[in-house]
Structure 1
Amino acid sequence: MRRIRIFIGLPVLPRLSPVFRPLLLLLLASVLSLPVLALLAAWLPGGAGAASAWGILREMAATVLPGYAWTTLWLALWVGLGAACVGTAAAAAVTLFDFPGRRAFEWLLLLPLAMPAYVTAYAYTDFLQFSGPLQVGLRAAFGWEGRLLPEVRSLWGAVLVFVFALYPYVYLLARTALGERAAHLMEAARLLGAPLRRRIARIALPLARPAVAAGVALVLMETLADYGVTSYFGIQSFSTGIYKAWLAMDNRIAAAQLSTLLLVLVLALLGLEQRAQRRMRFAGGGVGRAGSAEARPARLRGRHAVLAWAVCGLPVLLGFVAPVLFMLRPLTADWSVLPWERFGAWTWNSMRLGGMTALLCVAVALALAFAVRRQPTALTRGVVRLASLGYAVPGSVVVVGLLLPVGWLQERVPQWGLGALVTTTALGIVWAYLVRFGAVALQSVQSGYARIPASLDDSARLLGVGRWGLLRRVHWPLLRRSTAAAALLVFVDVMKELPATLVLRPFDSDTLAVVAYQLARDERLGEAALPSLALVLVGLVPVVLLSRALRSREADA
């Protein structure tokens, strides 16, 4: 057991005296809530002044704000509708019907989770643009002239990229909801004489509705937080407007106000997602898979099986297979243009930041989860809520929320060198990662704690085990798998994170995500293929583990 003591180091929270534990929790709450508090402070009298802030808002309302709002609204509307249709149709196909290849499609439909949306955008742009191989080949083969396909870099191109990159969020939740009760209830309806179309419309879809709503909310949060696709396609959304206000116009207050509006939209979606998750408990309660051994998915043959193949195969093809093939084409065409000599440095920077953040997030998650387990006070619950909110905060909002107070302090006490400390070292970017992805680790650790009976704590206390001994000798052996999963998820998210990394990375510390974006922006798509495919390979790891976990859970059920 001695070697377990060095596993992370930060969960020494139980050793602290009762006086210092609340102070440490308050400090942690301040670290996690600083971005949101800084944005709210931009509207108050103080550094900028309320009058100046409202004046800037009125000026934006008369110029750029309507365009940002309208574009973001249409993008969210069509992406949400498309992801709901694709994800629900795929989940219904693999859950309610049986056809050749159904088992393979159950995990193949998860593959687009490994493909960052901005990588998909680069791949389709390289293949479908005017100078891409498809249009060049068509013009050469048929003697046609001019543009043969619509412009890829458009609002509709972004909608298609987001739909086929993010539909797995809807697919996962809808598949879980349908698998728990739909087959059993549809079998009962069949015995009562209801036709298949009516069983789907009256039973399956209403059961899946809360799960679909929760999945769509997650899709929209990812869409609103995106910067890579919207910036690369030249779409004027809130996310691109924030960076333009900060970096191009050097207007901190305008960036803070746009960030606040985007944060309000994301928080509204988070509330919708949590409400839908609560409703899913009622949809999934009662009779589960147990007791439904006689219920079997409906067997499909002929043209119906072909239709099911199309419903399941098209998202996999457009969301994963085609982008990977499009990125592999420049790799095999000309190896000399690939930046092999710098690829190792980019990979090391990405892995270094990912490893540091993963260890820190897991340590904070263990400390918070243990504090709530031992003393579920209002303070500990409040800090946990702040940490859980971080994943819903877009990376662009986190950046503005961190740099605002840093810039304010730098102007008033320049001798501290706080600005240089945050922007030229790993402190700022790891801080942003902690705010952004701490919720991922916390959710995984809390799910592990939910499987540990409280009676074990009582038994350990009766045997004279202290707080540190309880965590080290009782909880940690049971939480190792959960903490390993949390570290892996945070590591992969950090590797793929673009907005925060693009602004806060230290000098000469480019990551795979940043160089993929910069090379693609410079129209060097062949060179962008190498770091992009590396990100896809890293993203495949949690997808494979997720697929195995779903299969084992269904087998146990």
Structure 2
Amino acid sequence: MSRRAPRAPRALSGAAWMIAVICLLPMIAVVLAALTGGTDTIVSLVSTVLGRYAVNTGLLIVLVSLGTFLVGVGAAWLVTMTRFPGVRFFEIALVLPLAFPAYVLAYAYTSVLDHPGIVQSTLRSVMGWGPRDYWFPEIRSLGGAALMLVFVLYPYVYLLARASFLQQSGSTFMAARALGARPLAAFLTVSLPLARPAIAAGVLLAVMETIADFGTVAYFGVQTFATGIYTSWFSLGDRAGAAQLAVCLLCFALLLAVLERAQRGQAKYHDPSRGQKHQPPLHLQGAQGWIAMVLCGLPVLLGAIIPIIALISLGLGSDQDLLSARYLGFVRNSLVLASTAAVLTVIAAIGLGFYQRMQPGRLSSSATYISRLGYAVPGGVIAVGLMVPFAAFDNALDAWMRATFDISTGLLLTGSIWLLVCAYMARFLAAALGAYEGGQALVHANMDAASRSLGKGPFATLRRVHLPILTPSLLTALLIVFVDVMKELPATLIMRPFNYDTLAVQAYRLASDERLEGAAVPSLVIVAVGLLPVILICRQVGRR
């Protein structure tokens, strides 16, 4: 008779649920704060700015969804299903814009396309126009913000669509071609419907990032729910208004999370010929090949090359010194926050993943699912959700200590690094879980059984069997979370300790003061760090 697998230790299950509660706390707290804020605030919001926030957020979602779909799917189909000059280069280079925060692109393109920028200055010089003699699209607009987000978010759709196209059997496509369908018609009627779940998941991920974006829309002056939360919290000092706006954004974000999970569950189809015959690529010759090369080159040019050139030219003309004590402080703060959050988040992912493996069932699945929800919740919502209860706790403790011992404890948790790290963990735990679970598929159940037969307990099995095999996946998770924390802006702006600025905060502050030359320097450092995980992704794409 075979021995049953041991249940997860109580310490492991307790730690897993404590992590899940930390991730769930901001959502519960922001709902309670909104409900206790009274109706006067929400009535005022409805009559003044709520409609504008909803319309702008909705338009931004529609434009980004359409743009990422067209660019991501089109590029994925060209590099997967066709052959043209430079296709091997573009299948990797198309991932590069993923390293850029959208607000960094906003700073770069403002310097290029604004009225004093090189494009309009050259037009006026060549054509002899005055400032009022011509019309030029306004980059600081809702359309400009959508364009910046499309440039940096289309790789989500590209990666998932490309993976889906690679997994498809060529039999169905060739059957459509044999029935007289042209390549484009066969793609629209066969390949695209089969890839629909993966494409929809990529678009939903892009939409989640869109509603969470603060730096781009704030710099371009586009009023959305994300900017409204920050304005209510800091500019107006209206905590109840910030909480109620956060609830509006939270409801939409959770709806997207449910849709993304449903799409992920449907991302499969039955094809008995799959794996037996791959679709032969279409060789594009002459003008068709050059057109394909231009279409794939434009996203790389606009999403990576031009911004880097613009930022370097701005940075060289600035008075910012990366080696000064002040800038070294920004770098140190960013590295401390990012590394601490990355290590703790990956440890939390290991605990949750191992708990689900040791004790599969509804209880462990619920803990893991709750912990994933933070990825769909914008950083501003998590910040408000954590600040409200912990500020109330600090104030209550301080009042009790004053009344009892005549001692002021001040703010012990609010405004601390550890509370900010908790916000990062809640926000990015889903990314670490995804990388961990991808590596865990390599750990066969027989390995656990062999470890138990040798008398090893659960934690010894984790340390001596799982972790050595999972090391590459864990390093990838560390790097992904590290870079995401380096780029995170709204949570850092709201929750950072006093006089504890990071590179992202410094870039935002200088750009808000219209000092784009200075903002280019911290932006370049953020991009350089962001290129590390993108290079890893590119290597995996190249291997496949």
Deviating more after overlay: 27-36 vs 358-367: 27-36
> Which stretch of the first structure deviates more once superposed, 235-244 or 415-424?
415-424
- Residue 190 (structure 1) aligns with: 177
Shift, 1:420, TM fit: 2.5
Equivalent in 72, 82, 97 of residue 57 of structure 2: 72
TM-superposed CA distance for 1:189, in Å, is: 2.9
The equivalent residue for 2:371 is 387
- Asked whether the equivalents of residues 71 and 236 of structure 1 are also in contact (C-alpha less than 8 Å), the reply is yes
In 2, the alpha carbon distance for the partners of 1:311 and 1:134 equals 22
8 Å Cα contact 1:42/1:53 also seen in 2: no
Q: Please give the residue correspondences for 1:18-167 in structure 2 after superposition, counting only pairs within 5 Å.
A: 18=10, 20-44=11-35, 48=36, 52-146=37-131, 148=134, 149-167=136-154
CA distance in 1, matches of 2:341, 2:220: 30
**Could you state the TM-score of these two structures normalised by the residue count of structure 1?**
0.90
Q: Tell whether the 8 Å contact from 1:182 to 1:207 is kept in structure 2 after alignment.
A: no
Q: Does 1:408 align with 2:389?
A: no
Q: Which stretch of the first structure deviates more once superposed, 531-540 or 403-412?
A: 403-412
C-alpha deviation, 1:335, in angstroms: 5.4
Q: Greater shift after overlay, 382-391 or 82-91? A: 382-391
Q: Where does the alignment leave 5 or more consecutive residues of structure 2 unmatched?
A: 1-5, 402-407
**2: CA distance, partners of 1:105 / 1:183:** 22
Of 229, 232, 253, 2:216 maps to 229
SS in 2 for 1:72: helix
- Residue among 228, 238, 247 paired with 1:251: 238
TM-score by length of 2: 0.93
- Say which of 204, 207, 223 aligns to 1:217: 204
- The 3-state SS of whatever aligns with 1:528 is helix
Q: Which amino acid aligns with 2:346?
A: V
Q: Could you tell me how far apart the structure 1 residues matched to 2:374 and 2:347 are?
A: 16
Cα distance in 2, alignment partners of residues 363 and 357 from structure 1:
10
Distance apart, 1:255 and its partner CA:
0.9
| Amino acid in the other structure paired with 2:292 | A
Partner of 1:481: 472
**Which string of whole-angstrom CA distances, capped at 9 and with x for unpartnered residues, describes residues 340-386 of structure 1?**
41332222211111111111111111111111111224433222112
- The aligned counterpart of 1:397 is 381
2:332 match? 348
Shift, 1:280, TM fit: 1.7
1:394 maps to a residue whose letter is P
Given that residues 395 and 411 in structure 2 are in contact (C-alpha distance below 8 angstroms), is that contact kept between their aligned partners in structure 1?
Answer: no
Match of 1:371?
Answer: 355
- 8 A Cα contact 2:96 2:534, kept in partner: yes
Is the 8 Å Cα contact of residues 318 and 518 (structure 2) preserved in structure 1? no
Question: For residues 453-476 of structure 1, what are the alpha-carbon distances to aligned partners after superposition, in whole Å with 9 as ceiling and x for unaligned?
Answer: 111111211221112211111111
Deviation at 1:286, TM superposition (A): 4.5
Give CA deviations for 1:390-449 in whole Å, capped at 9, x if unaligned: 111110000000011022223322257787233443112111111111221122112222
**Distance in 2 (alpha carbons) for counterparts of 1:412 and 1:193:** 75
Counterpart for residue 510 of structure 1: 501
Question: 2:16, 2:348 within 8 Å by CA — same for their partners in 1?
Answer: no
Superposed displacement of residue 486, structure 1: 0.9
- Any gaps of 5 or more consecutive residues in structure 1? 1-13
Shift of 1:183: 4.0
Q: More deviation in 411-420 or 58-67? A: 411-420
- The percentage of counterpart residues that share the same residue type is 43
Taking the aligned partners of 1:291 and 1:317, their CA distance within structure 2 comes to: 37
Which deviates more from structure 2 when the two are superposed, residues 473-482 or residues 229-238?
473-482
Change beyond 3 A, Cα 1:25–1:109: closer
Offset of 1:138 from its aligned partner? 2.3
Distance 2:465 2:483 in 1: 29
Return the match for 1:298 from 259, 282, 304: 282
Q: Which moved more, 1:388-397 or 1:465-474?
A: 465-474
Instruction: Check the 8 A contact 1:181/1:287 in 2, yes or no.
Output: no
Give the distance between the partners of 1:286 and 1:389, measured in 2 at CA: 35
Alignment of 1:267-346 (within 5 A): 267-282=254-269, 286-288=272-274, 290-292=275-277, 295-332=279-316, 334=317, 336-338=319-321, 340-341=323-324, 342-346=326-330
Deviations 1:201-238 (A, max 9, x none): 21122122222211111111000000000100111100
TM-fit CA distance, 1:71: 0.8
- What SS does structure 2 have at the residue aligned with 1:42? helix
Distance 1:255 1:166, change over 3 A: same
